[in-house]
Amino acid sequence: MFIVDVNNCEEIIAGDGSILRELFSPLKDNIDVRYSLALARVKPGEITHKHRLKTSSEVYFILRGKGIMHIDDETAEVKEGHIIYIPPGAVQRIKNTGNEDLVFLCIVCPPWRKEDEKILE
């Protein structure tokens, strides 16, 4: 049985500037899945750096807060309960427009790898 306590996952500042806890990845954990999962936070008024994942798609599941999602030339308001698909190679960033942390799950398939991510600003 594989169980993760999010409170025991190290909190880091990701390349895009979000506050991130990697929950699991088949690249480091002994689990048979084809994706990685992380919990991200963006503080009120902040926006992540423009970035792209070269070969991986990504899904954000907004757990708390509200913001504006930017994918390539499109923008949309997002809030708790929204699920956002980000295709491989798309330029992305998210801005927190609320008064509380914007909290979301990041599902990356194939699993996130540092060499796959390019920070653009």
Domain assignments of the chain as residue spans, ordered by start: 13-119
In this prediction, what percent of the chain has a pLDDT beyond 90?
99
What is the side-by-side strand order in the sheet with 83-86? Answer: 11-13, 19-24, 36-42, 102-109, 57-64, 83-86
Backbone angles phi, psi at 116, to 5 degrees: -90, -15
**Cα dist. 104→1, 71, 80, 118 in Å?**
25, 16, 9, 20
pLDDT score recorded for residue 34: 96
Residues in the chain: 121
CATH code of 13-119, in short, is 2.60.120.10
Mean pLDDT, range 97-110, rounded to an integer:
98
28-70 pLDDT, tens digit per residue, is 999 999 999 999 999 999 999 999 999 999 999 999 999 999 9
Contact 110, 54 (CB under 8 A): no
